[in-house]
Structure 1
Amino acid sequence: MAEKFVFDIAESLLKKLTSYAYQEVSRAYGVYEDLQRIKDTLTIVKCLLLDAEEKKNQQYALHEWQRQIQYICSDAEYVLEEFELQDKRKQVVKASRSTSMKVRHFFSTSNPLAFRIKMAHQIKDIRDRLDKVSTDGTKFGLTTINVESRLVVQRREMTYPDVDASSVIGRESDKEEIIKLLMQPHPQGNGDGDKSLCVIPIVGIGGLGKTTLAKFVFNDKRMDQIFQLKMWVCVSNDFDIRKIIIKTINSATDSIFSSASAPTSGLIHQENINNLDIVQVVSRLRQKNSGQKFLLVLDDVWNEDRANWIELKDLIKVGAPGSKTMVTTRNNSMASMMGNVPPYVLEGLSPKSCLSLFVKWAFKDGQEEKHPNLVEIGEEIVKKCQGVPLAVRTLGSSLFSNFDLSKWEFVRDSEIWNLKQKKDDILPALKLSYDQMPFYLRQCFAYFSLQPKDYTFLCDDITSLWISLGLVQSLNGRENLESIAREYIDELHSRSFLQDVNDFGSFCVFKVHDLIHDLALYVSREDFVAVDSHTRNIPQQVRNISIVENDSLDNDLFPKSRSVRSILFPVLGVGLESESVLDIWVSRYKYLRYLDLSDSSFETLPSSIAKLEHLRFLDLSCNEKIKRLPNSISKLLNLQALLLNGCMELEIFPKGLGNMISLRQLYITTKQFVLSENEFARLNHLRTLGFYYCYNLKFLFKWDQLPSLESFSVVSCGRVESLPLFTFPNLQTLYIDNCKKLNLSVYNELQIQTLRMRNLHLENFLELLTFPRWIEDTTDTLETLIVVNCPNLKNLPKCLITMSRLKRLYIRECPLLRRILLPSDMHHLTALEDLQIYDCPELYKNYQPQCGKYWPMIAHIKSVSIEEPSGEEE
């Protein structure tokens, strides 16, 4: 897997070298030609890496060659970052009116002449090293493979429709649900015209049993009674329309012969149509299918091109009314694109079914009765399979007729990715999905290995990590990195890599299936390490370190290497206590980009923190001992995120905060009464700003507009009286919680710019009687409205009726609310797809499912969750 990972790193570096921003800066410093030579050589090396992937098992030296490329790419990336940093130094010096600062800048190593000499040496070194590995690659007998035409991807074997029904366990109810869909008339029309073909998608992660379920349905006798013709086509990786039609014709021929009254024991005759052109092939399909009601299964579809699907659908839509197509895919967005009924999302097997399946694969018939102790261990083994049948089969078959207790315990206690895998086992099946991802998603996916299993991911946390490490790039320099990263999350979800996704508008949470976590461990390997009390060694080449247990912080454990790029403490309550360990990290890891010290308990941050010039993300949140930050922190010109929320003893902000011109995210807890207007006014790129537990602040700020700010939070700031919303012309998310003196309506009389807000979250407003008038300005844009613990609120805003884009409405602990809107007005909320009501007794009475008097008005909404109030008196 190191081969594919190095390929991705090389691809990422090439993207940077070809970006407009880097080409401009390289011309400004006179190194354009040198970087172009590096880019050209790296392109050749990347093509050699594809050939190395196929030869990966042949020699150890080849693995070392690939490792050298990774080191060179990392060093080259740091050189590019030096140009960015120099540019930011110039901006800060130019903005400063201090003559002494300009003089110090000139005589420092970052003055233009000294900088150019230093960078020339570094660029030459990288160029020479890259030339050498390129030459070495040919010594290994590697040849360049065209990247566009030959990206190395694992292929899946072709599937077939035959299945032994007795071998299918735990899918009876799923089969009946699918058959019910197949027996129903087309849900969108009268069975003719453009709507004559109904497409039913089955979607789920690899190994879940989509193909087996489709076979189970396909071979049910009821299908022979409903459909005159049944066809099975395995599409797999190659969505070639001509090939799919040929397979469909051949499958139709098989179906006709197998259903004929004549004996079929002889070879079935199939005419040779492989040499026909597309027009002739389509004509032959029409001859076969015309006038017949058919069932077509398109198994294992990976195509993401909607135009290709529409073209194919138009060509195969030649049967009688009532014809159906069933599609199996791992991709949610693909299922939505292809289907005209909601996708059937396949869930995991029940624990009981999993154990039955495991016993079937681990023992001969009846053998399990002689080994109840092994069956007991088997119950524990199947828990790690999380309901995925292929995982159950993989582990069961690995123990078949093996009664060695230690072997069973080894399988129980090992991670799946450490166990030997055959071609058709679970990890190869999941890796197929990984191989199909574009390189930028493959890089991001590996970072799921840094968190423990069953971890609840906050979308902003993982995307901040990706952004900090340069995995999210804007090719034209104008795209919003946070928006791009969020698209990555959506794409991973659509590919079935994420589960339990809850989108609350302003934030999103999700989990990763245990088997997907195993896959992340498998593809990340030596570059990623999660440190716990059992860790005895960290590889020297490690790039990302996650610490999940407090008692694992041994000074001697951490490598003396400059390759470390991220250190994080993902587990709540686990943080750094030793200042000496922090000193070691700062001195060793000069290229660190991401440093998460949340939940730590040290008292001082060392002044040497300024040496981490490449640092993008610094999280000091929930450190209850730290009182001050060194002024040197303002020298971190690359810092994009500074998190200080929950630092309850923090007395004052450091001087020079305004010099941190790259800041995009800032969370603040402070004992200060007043904040410096000059410092904050210079943060022109700030996108997210939050104030938490600032008990002494009465006025948050008075300065001019913050044009880049999109998300603003104020939590438990008890003295704050007003919000200057005019300061945020591009505000999209407003989150306010437990601010007792805050008057939301104080700016109603001002002529403020129309708000374009998308998410509004109001929580713990005990005195709130009505909504402020400015909410009327959000009716064209608001997508999420969350109202929590407003005990005196009697009505939602009247303008709710005009919120044409409102998708999510969550109401909790609002006992006086009796209705959302007038019953006759609910139909105006055409975009509403998620309604949640908790601890609201009056709303519960009126809207409770099935029996509430207003239930019919909301029954059409896609997702409705209404819970009976807790402690309700009878």
Structure 2
Amino acid sequence: MADAIVNLALEQLLQITTQNIGEEVRLVGNVENEVEKLRSNLEAIQTVLLDAEERQMKGDRAVRRWLDKLKDISYDIEDVLDEWNTEIMRLQVEGDLDDAPAPKQKVPSFFPCSCFGIKQVVLRRDIAQKIKELNEKLDIIAEEKNKYSLEEKSTETFERVQTTSFVDVTEIYGREYEKNSLLSTLLDERNEEHKNLSVISLVGMGGIGKTTLAQQAYNNDKVMSHFDTKIWVCVSNPFDEIRVAKAIIEGLECPTNDFVELESFLKCIRQSIMETKFLLILDDMWSEDYNKWEPFYHCLKNGSYGSKVLITTRNERVASIMGSVALIIIEQLAPEECWLLFRQFAFYGRPSKEFEKLEKIGREIVAKCKGLPLAAKTMGNLLRFKKTRNEWQRILDSDIWTLEEIGKGLLSPLMLSYNDLPSSIRRCFSYCAIFPKDHNIEKDDLIKLWMAQGYLGLDNDTKMEVIGQEYFDHLASRSFFQEFEKDDDQNIISCKMHDIVHDFAQFLTKNECFTVGIKGGNEDQVINTSNEKTRHSMLMLHVGATFPISVSSIKSLRSLLIGCEDSKYLVPDDVRPNLFGELTSLRALHISAGVVSANLITVIPKEVKKLIHLKYLNLSSQHMEKLPETLCELYNLQTLDISWCQKLKELPQGMGKLINLRHLINYFTISLSYMPKGIEKLTCLRTLSAFIEKSRSSDGSKACSTLACLKDLKHLRGTLYIRGLGNVTNVSEVKRMQILSNKENLFHLWLRFDKDGEGERKNDEDELLLEALQPHPNLEKLHIENYRGSTFYSDWIMSLTGLRELRILFCRNLMHLSPLGKLPSLESLWIREMSVKKVVTGIEGDGAFSSSTSVILFPKLKVLDFMWIWEWEEWDYGNTILPCLASLHIHFCPKLRALPDGLLQGAKNLQHLEIIGSDLLEERYKKGTGEDWQKISHIPNIKFADSYLQGGPLPLR
């Protein structure tokens, strides 16, 4: 860890000195020599860090203490350099502001004396003094290194980590007996003694594969059909009754109604499982306290005959205390089974000649894995990137296998894999110790947190997010992450860390990271603030908890992540100024909630401006109505997340000062009615979730004038939602400026043609505006909402050869569509509300999918979804072929008389058909009574809803 921190301080030192040393330094006493000395000392220390890290791993406590002191001063160096750079940015920003309250001279890269006031000179003298004091401390540390006879060792250089695919192997080796035994026990209902509830236990050491085996059973087809419902809860240590009860209720998909007492939760569970045969899996049980389990047992006995509880635990005594009727011991893998698992990863994609050359040494390495599947997988993923026999031999001969402190269990394989990472990625992994066990880690959020700590580079023009993605993929490929959740495009959204991997991350960071769960009913709970080395913390406030005021006294904190579960929770008024004004070393502050209705804070105090180092601020789901203008003095801010802040009415007017802002995440800020002036200056923006078009704000002066604000935001990527397009008055200006066509990384565009105030707009205005909003051809998803035109046709729409999803929503005047069947990549098409009586497919006409060139339309279309097309009577299908259509949904189209025979016969891949709220179709195709049931009977999955469904419109899926 020390090498990563020293490297970061050096990076910052090199950057700031090469860019900014000049007249502004000479103003404070000519400190160039002190800065150069600081750099020289750090570089000299850097050369011996590899040897020092190895020595501390072997138990050298003196070297460990020396490294701890080095880390502390490296952090201090970062703070001082960051303070220096922030002041320079402030002067540049104030010099560049067009609408500053008083004229100010523009500040060049080297500041002449005339541009400084007394405060600026004093600040520079203060920074110079701090640099001098740091040098004095670093001199001592540099001298101390000579006492330990540390050797200079060169480290392998990594110019850029290459993106690597990771092997996601689901096969389980050597567990046939355990698997069959578990399935047999889960499906067996002959045990009369435990008629209503049986407890089954999987017992084995960490990393042995208990959770993997439980997951395989949980997803088994026979198990899925045998039980009415299944619930998975990760328990971990300590056993928190409220959290476990809430997790069970969430698994049962029941509302909690803001319960506080355990009895209320248990009563809800008891009522929910009555007459229900359930399977509850309690993963990673540790508690030996039967009194904590007993209320759950009596509650769960109310389930139907055959209900089961499956626990995984490392402790056989826990299984006994919980009254297990079946105990399945998971032993280490046999040598050959462990080898097969290792081989699956280590030789993935390799030629057979390499297998023959490396098999013998590979088996020797596997022997050191002690039959632990996670160890075999970790070593396999490490050696997959080692091409020569010498590289494999170095792994086999490493001293790490024999080190007493880490030589047990899984830490040796993890340490070998960790040491093989570049230092830039090692610090990213160790940061993950901030999260609690079994935490669902959002990938994009993690990358932004890494960015805030400076782990992804310091140059604001670099593609830091791309580097972060590469680092994440690298860690995933080495088995440091697992349980990946993916989106429809198979991109990873989130992941978890195995308990052993989490233990390893905490071992590396020691006292630097801590996670605290604050329980309710303990009004005076105080967290330990005595450790001055604490840098990163995550607090979870459970139901009824009191905010720990003492956290404000941990001045060394660089990350503070706070979450809550209670929808009635608020941080007290007298705590907020301290929370925002005292933790002045913070780089990341996350104040969010587990549910949208929860709330921690309603007012952001003006003291937020004191967090000058802050780069990441997450206020999502909070209930504040405005943000203070002082927030715009956070010149280092890279990420501002205000998503789901549904009461937020306006953004600060000084937003243009946030010159380093890369991500303005404002999903579902439904009360936000305009964008402030200056938004166009945020040219570093990569994310702008929503832009609100409004020509004038309520006071007529605050709003960003037009869509032209978007023109220079050329780095925008991902998703952009533009609402208020009905307020656009100068369509020709929008067309001239081509505001969207230069955004090649914008893949999802949502255009909403809504209008504020009174009065209708002309339909042809929307048609002209749609034509003017031409995006880059790279667009993959397009949503059009509240469009008033009668014709949906544009050359640019037909040029989107990569478009995969199109949604046309609430376009009530729409009568004619482009020949959408010609779009070569379209996979999903949704239409909500359209004023047509007839849809024509395959020939020229007035319908939605007309085409005269080919009968093979929509070559990749998989999902076709219609809803609320009230006047639709006829679907003229012709002889069209939709070769890939898998799902057809028709909801609330009450006048549609029949589905085309050609569609039902020709769509060979049609797997899902939903007909809801469409009376004539339901009557025609219903099994047993419908005259045309046989025409759809070959479709595997068919869903109808009775015509009396009158519960209001279905939500958009």
User: TM-score category by the smaller chain?
Assistant: 0.5 to 0.7
Report the equivalent of 1:195.
none
CA separation of 1:117 and 1:667: change in aligned 2, threshold 3 A = same
Aligned ranges 1:343-492 → 2 under 5 Å? 423=407, 425-473=409-457, 478-492=461-475
The answer to whether residue 532 in structure 2 is matched with residue 540 in structure 1 is yes
Deviation track 1:622-673 (CA, whole Å, cap 9, x = no partner) reads 222x233322222222222223333333344333222222222224537465
Deviation track 1:7-39 (CA, whole Å, cap 9, x = no partner) reads 2212233333445x6522245755665444333
1:559 Cα deviation from its structure 2 partner: 6.0
Report the equivalent of 1:69.
70
The answer to whether residue 908 in structure 2 is matched with residue 854 in structure 1 is yes
Aligned ranges 1:19-168 → 2 under 5 Å? 19=15, 23-26=18-21, 29-30=24-25, 34-56=34-56, 58-96=59-97, 98=100, 100=102, 102=104, 108=117, 111=120, 113-148=121-156
CA separation of 1:99 and 1:829: change in aligned 2, threshold 3 A = closer
C-alpha distance in 1 between matches for 2:944 and 2:608: 52
The answer to whether residue 828 in structure 2 is matched with residue 707 in structure 1 is no
Report the equivalent of 1:268.
none
Q: 1:568 aligns with which of 547, 553, 561?
A: 561
CA separation of 1:506 and 1:637: change in aligned 2, threshold 3 A = farther
1:611 Cα deviation from its structure 2 partner: 1.3
Deviation track 1:581-613 (CA, whole Å, cap 9, x = no partner) reads 222223321121212223444332211211111
SS of the aligned residue for 1:645 comes to: coil
The answer to whether residue 7 in structure 2 is matched with residue 11 in structure 1 is yes
Q: Which AA in structure 2 matches 1:523?
A: L
C-alpha distance in 2 between matches for 1:23 and 1:118: 21
Query: Please, which runs of 5 or more residues in structure 1 have no aligned partner?
Result: 151-164, 174-204, 221-230, 253-296, 313-326, 331-419, 859-865
C-alpha distance in 2 between matches for 1:40 and 1:783: 54
1:73 Cα deviation from its structure 2 partner: 1.0
Q: 1:596 aligns with which of 571, 590, 598?
A: 590
C-alpha distance in 1 between matches for 2:511 and 2:464: 28
Q: 1:659 aligns with which of 653, 657, 660?
A: 657
C-alpha distance in 1 between matches for 2:362 and 2:435: 46
1:525 Cα deviation from its structure 2 partner: 3.5
SS of the aligned residue for 1:132 comes to: helix
- 1:675–1:700 contact (8 Å) kept in structure 2: yes
- 1:648–1:670 contact (8 Å) kept in structure 2: yes
CA separation of 1:838 and 1:109: change in aligned 2, threshold 3 A = farther
C-alpha distance in 2 between matches for 1:6 and 1:613: 25
Deviation track 1:71-123 (CA, whole Å, cap 9, x = no partner) reads 11111112222332133222222223658464999565663x44443332222
CA separation of 1:580 and 1:206: change in aligned 2, threshold 3 A = same
SS of the aligned residue for 1:548 comes to: strand
Quote the sequence identity (%).
19
1:510 Cα deviation from its structure 2 partner: 1.7
C-alpha distance in 1 between matches for 2:605 and 2:692: 25
C-alpha distance in 2 between matches for 1:137 and 1:794: 79
C-alpha distance in 2 between matches for 1:601 and 1:145: 49
Aligned ranges 1:767-782 → 2 under 5 Å? 773=794, 775-776=796-797, 779=800, 782=802
Q: Which AA in structure 2 matches 1:755?
A: H
TM-score, scaled to structure 2: 0.55
1:435 Cα deviation from its structure 2 partner: 3.0
Deviation track 1:388-422 (CA, whole Å, cap 9, x = no partner) reads xxxxxxxxxxxxxxxxxxxxxxxxxxxxxxxx987
Q: 2:776 aligns with which of 746, 749, 755?
A: 755
Report the equivalent of 2:894.
none
C-alpha distance in 2 between matches for 1:738 and 1:86: 40
1:773 Cα deviation from its structure 2 partner: 2.5
- 1:634–1:657 contact (8 Å) kept in structure 2: yes
C-alpha distance in 1 between matches for 2:772 and 2:831: 33
1:758 Cα deviation from its structure 2 partner: 3.8
Q: Which AA in structure 2 matches 1:23?
A: T
Report the equivalent of 2:879.
none
Query: Please, which runs of 5 or more residues in structure 2 have no aligned partner?
Result: 26-30, 107-113, 159-172, 182-205, 214-331, 364-376, 396-403, 520-525, 594-598, 698-702, 756-762, 834-838, 843-848, 863-883, 892-898, 913-938, 948-957
C-alpha distance in 1 between matches for 2:13 and 2:675: 41
CA separation of 1:838 and 1:46: change in aligned 2, threshold 3 A = farther
- 2:911–2:941 contact (8 Å) kept in structure 1: no
Deviation track 1:531-577 (CA, whole Å, cap 9, x = no partner) reads 21267424332111212115555445326343111212356667752
The answer to whether residue 616 in structure 2 is matched with residue 617 in structure 1 is yes
CA separation of 1:869 and 1:509: change in aligned 2, threshold 3 A = farther
Report the equivalent of 1:557.
550
Q: Which AA in structure 2 matches 1:629?
A: L
Farther-moved stretch of structure 1 (455-464 vs 465-474) = 455-464
SS of the aligned residue for 1:615 comes to: coil
Q: Which AA in structure 1 matches 2:560?
A: I
C-alpha distance in 2 between matches for 1:437 and 1:143: 21
1:68 Cα deviation from its structure 2 partner: 1.4
Deviation track 1:319-354 (CA, whole Å, cap 9, x = no partner) reads xxxxxxxx9xx9xxxxxxxxxxxxxxxxxxxxxxxx
SS of the aligned residue for 1:558 comes to: helix
1:501 Cα deviation from its structure 2 partner: 3.5
CA separation of 1:140 and 1:468: change in aligned 2, threshold 3 A = same
CA separation of 1:670 and 1:451: change in aligned 2, threshold 3 A = same
Aligned ranges 1:706-855 → 2 under 5 Å? 706-711=712-717, 726-728=738-740, 729-730=742-743, 732-733=745-746, 735=748, 739=752, 741=754, 746-747=767-768, 755-760=776-781, 762=783, 773=794, 775-776=796-797, 779=800, 782=802, 785=805, 787=807, 798=819, 809=827, 824=856, 840=889, 853-855=907-909
Number of aligned pairs?
Answer: 641
Q: Which AA in structure 2 matches 1:465?
A: L
C-alpha distance in 2 between matches for 1:867 and 1:513: 38
Q: Which AA in structure 2 matches 1:710?
A: L
C-alpha distance in 1 between matches for 2:343 and 2:636: 56
CA RMSD in angstroms comes to 5.6
1:41 Cα deviation from its structure 2 partner: 2.1
- 2:822–2:857 contact (8 Å) kept in structure 1: yes
C-alpha distance in 2 between matches for 1:249 and 1:712: 48
C-alpha distance in 2 between matches for 1:250 and 1:529: 40
CA separation of 1:719 and 1:438: change in aligned 2, threshold 3 A = same
CA separation of 1:246 and 1:124: change in aligned 2, threshold 3 A = same
Q: Which AA in structure 1 matches 2:63?
A: L
1:144 Cα deviation from its structure 2 partner: 2.9
Q: Which AA in structure 2 matches 1:588?
A: E
TM-score, scaled to structure 1: 0.60
CA separation of 1:572 and 1:106: change in aligned 2, threshold 3 A = farther
- 2:693–2:727 contact (8 Å) kept in structure 1: no
Q: Which AA in structure 2 matches 1:45?
A: I
CA separation of 1:213 and 1:717: change in aligned 2, threshold 3 A = farther
SS of the aligned residue for 1:125 comes to: helix
SS of the aligned residue for 1:499 comes to: strand
C-alpha distance in 1 between matches for 2:340 and 2:591: 57
Report the equivalent of 1:643.
641
- 1:688–1:712 contact (8 Å) kept in structure 2: yes
Q: Which AA in structure 1 matches 2:754?
A: K
